[in-house]
């Protein structure tokens, strides 16, 4: 059964072929757990030049994505299924994506991901469609496509059947009740260039191992992301 269907609305659908063809996502698609459909906004232009962008009113650099083809594309894609889906626009001016937001999005059966380019969309796209605006971080990408792949990746790994071992997503950094970074991991060999695997991990003493891992998580969080410890 399909758990989440993604409809990606973009000017560059070819950017997704490498990502969709690989490993975990490929397998989730092949197993019928996830569906990703790509739609080219350009296919919804009406003028003969297929113009999707235009110069901004009031002047200034760059181009703005036009309202008519964008709204037409979203409305047509919505009608392709009974459930209209939850519309997300990827934009650096959106709310920042984090694990709780990913968890919330993963409850949706259908997500429409609208990817901007250039200086962004004509504001009327936002006013008319009222999407949830999401940014993946405080930096500017060349478009929403990479951001949408980040969002898909994070949502898909929360589908229980997608990861072989259900526990592995619950133990990720930022998951669970205490939002700490994940502890360090080791595998064979026991020693490499004089660096030994911590003895405790070889002891078989699971309560002690859990305690050690929790301390590691705390230490890592203090070192790399002390802001997480300040949040309540």
Q: Which residues bind ligand ADE (CB under 6 A)?
A: 90-92, 116, 135-137, 139-141, 143-144, 147
Cβ distance to ligand ADE smaller for residue 69 or 116: 116
DSSP string, 52-113: -EEPPTT--SS-EE-HHHHHHHHHHHHTTSSS--EEEEEEEEEEEP-HHHHHHHTT-SEEEE
Among 13, 69, 92, 131, which one carries the catalytic annotation? 92
| Least distance in angstroms from the C-beta of 127 to ligand ADE | 19
Q: Which is nearer to ligand ADE, 67 or 145 (CB)?
A: 145
The phi and psi torsions of 223 (rounded to 5 degrees) equal: -70, -45
CB of 97 to ligand ADE, least distance (A): 8
CB contact at 8 A, 125 and 168:
no
Rg (C-alpha) for the chain, rounded Å, is 22
Q: How far is the CB of 62 from ligand ADE (least distance, A)?
A: 13
In the residue annotation, 84 being an active-site residue is answered as no
Decide whether 33 or 136 has the Cβ nearer to ligand ADE.
Answer: 136
Active site residue 92: yes
The answer to whether residues 135 and 151 touch, using CB atoms and an 8 Å cutoff, is no
Active site includes 172?
A: yes
CB of 89 to ligand ADE, least distance (A): 8
Of 68, 103, 119, 182, which is the active-site residue? 119
Q: Is 157 a catalytic residue?
A: yes
Residue 1 Cβ vs ligand ADE, minimum distance, rounded to whole Å: 30
Q: How far is CA 103 from the centre of its chain?
A: 11
Q: Which is nearer to ligand ADE, 103 or 133 (CB)?
A: 133
Alpha carbons 166 and 163: distance in angstroms, whole number: 6
List the catalytic residue out of 68, 172, 179, 225. Answer: 172
For ligand ADE, the closer of residues 140 and 202 by Cβ is 140
Phi, psi of 44 (to 5 degrees): -105, 15
Give CA–CA dist 116/173, Å, rounded.
29
Closest residue to ligand ADE, judged by C-beta, is 147
| 3-state secondary structure (DSSP) of residue 121 | strand
Catalytically active residues are 92, 119, 157, 172
């Amino acid at each position: 059964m399909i758990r989440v269907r993604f409809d990606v609305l973009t000017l560059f659908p070819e950017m997704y072929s490498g990502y969709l063809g690989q490993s975990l996502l490929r397998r989730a698609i092949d197993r019928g757990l996830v569906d990703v459909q790509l739609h080219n906004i350009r296919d919804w232009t009406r003028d003969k030049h297929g113009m999707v962008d235009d110069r901004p009113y009031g002047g200034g650099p760059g181009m703005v994505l036009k309202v008519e083809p964008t709204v037409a594309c979203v409305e047509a894609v919505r009608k392709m299924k009974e459930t209209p889906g939850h519309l997300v626009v990827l934009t650096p001016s959106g709310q920042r994506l984090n694990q709780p937001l990913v968890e919330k999005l993963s409850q949706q059966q259908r997500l429409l991901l609208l990817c901007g380019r250039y200086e962004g969309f004509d504001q009327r796209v936002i006013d008319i469609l009222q999407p949830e605006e999401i940014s993946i971080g405080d930096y500017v990408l060349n478009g929403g496509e990479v951001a949408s792949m980040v969002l898909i990746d994070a949502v898909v790994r929360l589908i229980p059947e997608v990861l072989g071992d259900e526990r592995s997503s619950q133990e990720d950094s930022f998951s669970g009740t205490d939002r700490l970074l994940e502890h360090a991991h080791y595998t064979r060999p026991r020693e490499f260039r004089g660096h030994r695997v911590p003895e405790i991990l070889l002891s078989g003493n699971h309560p002690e191992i859990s305690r050690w891992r929790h301390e590691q998580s705390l230490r890592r969080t203090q070192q790399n992301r002390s802001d997480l410890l300040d949040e309540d």
